[in-house]
Amino acid sequence: MKDVAAEAGVSVMTVSRVVNGDAGVAPPTAARVEAAVRKLGYQRDDVARQLRRTDQLSQTIGLMVDNVADPFMAAVASAAEDVARQRGSMVLIGSSRADVRREQEVIETFTARRVDGLILIPAAGSHRFLRSAQAQGTKIVCVDRAAPGLDADAVVVDNFGAVKEAVHHLIAHGHRRIAYVGDKPEIWTFGERHRGYRAALEAEGIDADPAIVRHGLRSGPEAAQAVTEILSSPEPPTAVLAGNEVLAFGVLAVLPPDIAFLSFDDFALAAQLTPPVTVIAQDPVALATSAAHLLFARIHGDTSPPRTVVMPTELIPRGSGEIPGPHAPYGR
pLDDT in tens, the chain (332 residues): 788 888 889 887 788 778 877 666 888 898 998 898 888 777 665 555 554 444 478 899 999 999 988 899 999 999 999 999 999 999 999 999 988 889 999 998 998 888 999 999 999 888 888 888 888 889 999 999 999 889 999 999 999 999 999 999 999 999 999 999 999 999 999 999 999 999 999 999 999 999 999 999 999 999 999 999 999 999 999 999 999 999 999 999 999 999 999 999 999 899 999 999 999 999 999 999 999 999 999 999 999 999 999 999 999 999 999 999 999 886 55
* Cross-strand bridge partners of residue 314: 281
> 144 and 291 share a domain?
yes
Q: Which residues are CB-neighbours of 216 under 8 A, at least 6 positions away? A: 183, 184
> 193 and 238 share a domain?
yes
Domain at 37, CATH number: 1.10.260.40
> 92 and 152 share a domain?
yes
Do residues 224 and 251 make contact, with C-beta atoms less than 8 angstroms apart?
Answer: yes
Q: Does residue 255 sit within a domain? A: yes
How far is 15 from 168, CA to CA, in rounded Å? 70
Query: What's the pTM value of the predicted model, to 2 decimals?
Result: 0.79
What pLDDT sits at residue 45?
A: 59
Q: How many CB atoms lie within 10 A of CB 110?
A: 23
> 147 and 163 share a domain?
no
What pLDDT sits at residue 54?
A: 42
Domain at 227, CATH number: 3.40.50.2300
Residue type, 4: V
How far is 55 from 216, CA to CA, in rounded Å? 46
In three-state form (DSSP H/G/I as H, E/B as E, the rest C), the secondary structure along 249-313 is HHHHHHCCCCCEEEEECCCCCCCCCCCCCEEEECCHHHHHHHHHHHHHHHHCCCCCCCCEEEECC
> 273 and 179 share a domain?
yes
Q: Is the dihedral of CA 70, 100, 241, 256 positive or negative?
A: positive
> 144 and 167 share a domain?
no
Domain count, the chain: 3
> 72 and 166 share a domain?
no
How far is 80 from 85, CA to CA, in rounded Å? 9
Q: Does residue 105 sit within a domain? A: yes
Identify the domain containing residue 229 by its residue range. Answer: 159-282+315-322
